[in-house]
Amino acid sequence: MLPEEVTKYLAEHRQEHLEQLFEVLRFPSVSSQSAHEADGLACAEHIAGHLQGLGFSAELRPWRKHPIILARSTPEIADPSAPTVLIYAHYDVQPPDPVDLWTSPPFEPTIRDGAIYARGASDDKGLLMSCINGCEAFIRTVGQLPMNVLFFSEGEEEIGSPELEDFITAAADDLKSDFALVMDLGFFAPGMPTILTGLRGLVYLELTLNGPSVDLHSGQHGGAVVNPLNALAKMIAAMHDEDDRVTLPGFYDDVVEPSDEELQAWKSLPFNKSEYAKEVGVEPAGGERRRSILERRWSRPTLDCNGIIGGYQGEGAKTVLPASATAKISMRLVPNQRPEKALAAFDEFVSSNTPPGVRASVKVLSRSRPFLIRPDSPAIGAVKDAMYEAFDADTVLARAGGSVPISELIQRILKVDPVVTGFALSDDNIHSPNERLKLEQFHTGAVATAAMLNNLARLK
Amino acid sequence: MLPEEVTKYLAEHRQEHLEQLFEVLRFPSVSSQSAHEADGLACAEHIAGHLQGLGFSAELRPWRKHPIILARSTPEIADPSAPTVLIYAHYDVQPPDPVDLWTSPPFEPTIRDGAIYARGASDDKGLLMSCINGCEAFIRTVGQLPMNVLFFSEGEEEIGSPELEDFITAAADDLKSDFALVMDLGFFAPGMPTILTGLRGLVYLELTLNGPSVDLHSGQHGGAVVNPLNALAKMIAAMHDEDDRVTLPGFYDDVVEPSDEELQAWKSLPFNKSEYAKEVGVEPAGGERRRSILERRWSRPTLDCNGIIGGYQGEGAKTVLPASATAKISMRLVPNQRPEKALAAFDEFVSSNTPPGVRASVKVLSRSRPFLIRPDSPAIGAVKDAMYEAFDADTVLARAGGSVPISELIQRILKVDPVVTGFALSDDNIHSPNERLKLEQFHTGAVATAAMLNNLARLK
């Protein structure tokens, strides 16, 4: 059980913690847009400064465009001989577009109806700050953390953590830990803490078709010159068959079906198709036939077009045959698919499906492997107990359809099975307008984190 | 033959006429963007003022968003009993996007290599000013125009002249004329004046698929919710078959093949596939099989996607399942297709091809009928002679793949077969970055217009 003064401290410092979170949320640390590079750096510096103020030795390791924050508890705040837990949460956010659908501006955090509304509130700055606050409570009351804590916070998760594998490999000695918590995503349902035993991997790429040397008048040249947008639509359409299965050659070869036990466990989750339809605002009619919705979201791979560039996107009419057209395409991969193999299949598909009159090129933006762990480790038990202590509820095991690339890297390179969990709710509008985090989840999340440290410390 | 002082006047006032054109080109009169509404009005007022200065009674008739300029020669500058020619040229322009591909800014006209570079230089402000200059030369030298001239200049041609039919119908009495010149488009090849006996019609619409109520995370929901962009690509792809024929039901039913004589005439035009490929920068591999390129551009209908909105178009990655996706789609129609029938076929296609999980809606932005006239009228003869006098070259008869909706409206409602011609060259980058008009075409175009008035005046 947590020392009473720790929970008391957290209860008494809610306002202060909220203000600190607001400061972090005000940085528009959008990792996909180079215009926001300085904002990413400023955000990282601010968080590192905050951790230093608590007694961590925080440093920014330069990496690609956005630094990685490494902050380790010093001997002043933790016994060096105690075990170490690595806590991961990212400080970058998705672009806020479409901005006009936000009720309050995305980078001016606002409290409404018991929730904090801001880009990054639940994904993932709110969770990062909950974890830091859990540590702060121990430091300011007991004087010491129950174990060593190494914060690892990156600024490129939302662009797929490109090349993070290289960083982890190179820094493996520095990152050596007994346990790892990956704090992203959240509860399967309100009042239902959740640990994720599987995540999908991701390949994100751009497919460009180049046609005429400049944009042409569609009247003068339509019917003679191949329209790259027409051709691109045709190629994207051909990537699925009539049953909505992906047609890339060999795409499903390495897909592993979940165990009967796991499928059974998913069936017992409080998931209701009509509730889900209400949440997303539409009948969930996508994906492969003859698979349940949770299967399709968690254990089946997908291919999605996430945007098309080319021609005219403005108001009204422009009769243009564009010089080129580009599709942003993402593939979600499941165990045991490999990004390299999916990309090779994509290239093969493009080679055999590019019509005359256009040239195709593929640019890979990011890749990460799918993730799967055993559901019965002692660390998972310790986290479940902590969740029970904080939220007074049992934890369920589930998977998620998203990708948190660090999870698989920690498992494969650092040889630690991370516990992937978080405090967001499924209707928190992650990646959408009006992203939010419930105040209660934010504050109780800090209690839960403190309890996790308390429990994990006893395992070794 | 033109009076000598008319040609002399035009030769001596080139610099002045160039400066006057530059003033008109500086107005960003982009009709498709409401932000430019004031610019369109300012441009129209400027042109009307210029015509008043020459002795025309110019008025702006309010119409939809951009006024129509009607400017009629007064008894001071033309004998009221002389016949009347209606001269049409539009003052609006295409959006300049993509602006970064312009060598000089689109609304700062610049002379380079003997040409005027600016949006609207050849389409269509340069032609309008050539015609006005041709009139000016008569007024300032002979003192009178050889016939009455009625300038008709609209500001919504580039958005398909929506509802122009209503205007022409209502103003038919005011627009009564003996002859009509539609001044748009231009030469088939350098040194080859061209009269267009046929133009394609146009239907421009937006097809929107609405899916989830907000943009969703493609990891969390991919494979469950139908992705409107995937679905839209599939629908667009299905609009053409393997032979690149349009699959809308009954689409080709009313298509009339050109006469053998006309097809033969096209074969004798100096058209070379590899030259054309060089001009557009790509092998012209589009359109229906087993049809020549000129047939495909001039006498066959098309369906083109001109832009797709939805998801993420910015830099880098955003893993989004968009709430909706919209395609801008244009259809070029040929004799005797009708916009209403094509739209009904489109609606029927959409109804039977919309998958579950999305709702489709169609918004029509503009429609115009195809145009075809007899090639042997006296007016065509008079214009041919004028072209010979100015450009020292024979005029060819051709068609164009573009749409100039007024042509068909003049023919159908005003019962005058317009002579559709112009002074632009085929590589003037109409609707593309770096639109231009050769200086020589601009200045000699004024001589040609003066000669047209001189010749048409003698026909009645």
CATH value at residue A231: 3.30.70.360
Rounded to whole angstroms, the Cα distance separating A359 from A325 reads: 11
Taking 90 as the threshold, does the pLDDT of residue B317 lie above it? no
Q: What is the DSSP letter of B203?
A: E
- Residue A160 counted as domain residue: yes
In this structure, the answer to whether residues B220 and B299 fall within a common structural domain is yes
Helix (H, G, I), strand (E, B) or coil at A176: coil
State the pLDDT confidence band at A407, using cuts at 50, 70 and 90.
very high
User: CB distance B158–A202 less than 8 Å?
Assistant: no
- Span A229-263, pLDDT tens digits: 999 999 999 999 999 999 999 999 999 999 999 99
- Residue A49 counted as domain residue: yes
Closest CA to B62 of B128, B154, B157: B154
The residues, ordered by sequence, that sit 6+ positions from B12 with a Cβ below 8 Å of its Cβ are: none
In this structure, the answer to whether residues B113 and B165 fall within a common structural domain is yes
Taking a contact as any Cβ pair under 8 Å apart, which residues of chain A between 36 and 65 contact chain B? none
Q: Out of B202, B225, B304, whose CB is closest to A230?
A: B304
- Span B90-149, pLDDT tens digits: 999 999 988 999 999 999 999 999 999 999 999 999 999 999 999 999 999 999 999 999
State the pLDDT confidence band at A426, using cuts at 50, 70 and 90.
confident
Strand A396-400 versus strand A148-153 pairing type: unpaired
- Residue A227 counted as domain residue: yes
In this structure, the answer to whether residues A142 and A257 fall within a common structural domain is no
Residue A4 neighbours by CB distance under 10 Å: 9
In this structure, the answer to whether residues B73 and B127 fall within a common structural domain is yes
Q: Out of A218, A225, A302, whose CB is closest to B330?
A: A218
User: CB distance A223–B401 less than 8 Å?
Assistant: yes
Q: Please indicate if any CB of chain B lies within 8 Å of the CB of A400.
A: yes
- Residue A317 counted as domain residue: yes
Residues in A touching B283 (Cβ below 8 Å): 356-357
Residues in A touching B434 (Cβ below 8 Å): 214
Considering B338, B368, B398, which residue would you say is the last residue of a domain?
Answer: B368
Q: Before B184, cis peptide (omega within 30)?
A: no
| pLDDT value of residue A316 | 87
Residues in B touching A356 (Cβ below 8 Å): 283, 285
In this structure, the answer to whether residues A221 and A343 fall within a common structural domain is yes
In this structure, the answer to whether residues B76 and B209 fall within a common structural domain is no
- Residue A275 counted as domain residue: no
- Residue B288 counted as domain residue: no
State the pLDDT confidence band at B437, using cuts at 50, 70 and 90.
very high
Tokens at A318, concatenated = 């422009």
Tokens at A58, concatenated = 């925080």
- Residue A267 counted as domain residue: no
User: Is the model more confident about A5 or about A402?
Assistant: A5
Taking 90 as the threshold, does the pLDDT of residue A98 lie above it? no
Strand B56-61 versus strand B68-73 pairing type: antiparallel
CA distance B318 to chain A (A): 7
Taking 80 as the threshold, does the pLDDT of residue A460 lie above it? no
User: CB distance B432–A332 less than 8 Å?
Assistant: no
pTM of the full predicted structure?
0.86
Considering B327, B343, B368, which residue would you say is the last residue of a domain?
Answer: B368
Q: Out of B223, B237, B313, whose CB is closest to A297?
A: B223
Query: What CATH number does residue B115 fall under?
Result: 3.40.630.10
In this structure, the answer to whether residues B169 and B35 fall within a common structural domain is yes
Considering A368, A403, A425, which residue would you say is the last residue of a domain?
Answer: A368
Q: Following DSSP, what letter does each residue of A117-136 receive, concatenated?
A: ESTTIIIIIHHHHHHHHHHH
User: CB distance B284–A31 less than 8 Å?
Assistant: no
User: CB distance A308–B311 less than 8 Å?
Assistant: yes
Q: Which residues are B397's β-sheet partners? A: B195
Rounded to whole angstroms, the Cα distance separating B109 from B116 reads: 6
One-letter amino acid at B104 equals S
In this structure, the answer to whether residues A376 and A337 fall within a common structural domain is no
**Could you list the residue range(s) of the whole structural domain that residue A158 is in?**
4-199+370-459
State the pLDDT confidence band at B372, using cuts at 50, 70 and 90.
very high
In this structure, the answer to whether residues A166 and A315 fall within a common structural domain is no
User: CB distance B317–A366 less than 8 Å?
Assistant: yes
State the pLDDT confidence band at B159, using cuts at 50, 70 and 90.
confident
In this structure, the answer to whether residues A336 and A433 fall within a common structural domain is no
In this structure, the answer to whether residues B393 and B352 fall within a common structural domain is no
Q: Say what percent of chain B tops pLDDT 90.
A: 92
| pLDDT value of residue B160 | 83
A223: nearest CA partner in chain B: B287
User: CB distance B305–A216 less than 8 Å?
Assistant: no
Q: Which residues are A399's β-sheet partners? A: A198
Rounded to whole angstroms, the Cα distance separating B407 from B404 reads: 6
Tokens at A281, concatenated = 């605002």
Tokens at A278, concatenated = 């209400």
Residue B104 neighbours by CB distance under 10 Å: 13
- Span B243-297, pLDDT tens digits: 999 999 999 999 999 999 999 999 999 999 999 999 899 999 999 988 999 999 9
Rounded to whole angstroms, the Cα distance separating B160 from B158 reads: 5
- Span B41-99, pLDDT tens digits: 999 999 999 999 999 999 999 999 999 999 999 999 999 999 999 999 999 999 998 89
Taking a contact as any Cβ pair under 8 Å apart, which residues of chain B between 122 and 151 contact chain A? none
Number of domains in chain B: 2
B366: nearest CA partner in chain A: A317
Residues in A touching B323 (Cβ below 8 Å): 281
| pLDDT value of residue A281 | 94
Tokens at B160, concatenated = 């398909």
Q: Please indicate if any CB of chain B lies within 8 Å of the CB of A174.
A: no
Give the Å distances, CA to CA, from A321 to A224, A384, B264.
Answer: 11, 57, 28
- Residue B215 counted as domain residue: yes
Please give the ipTM for the structure prediction: 0.86
In this structure, the answer to whether residues A98 and A224 fall within a common structural domain is no
Tokens at A30, concatenated = 């959008």
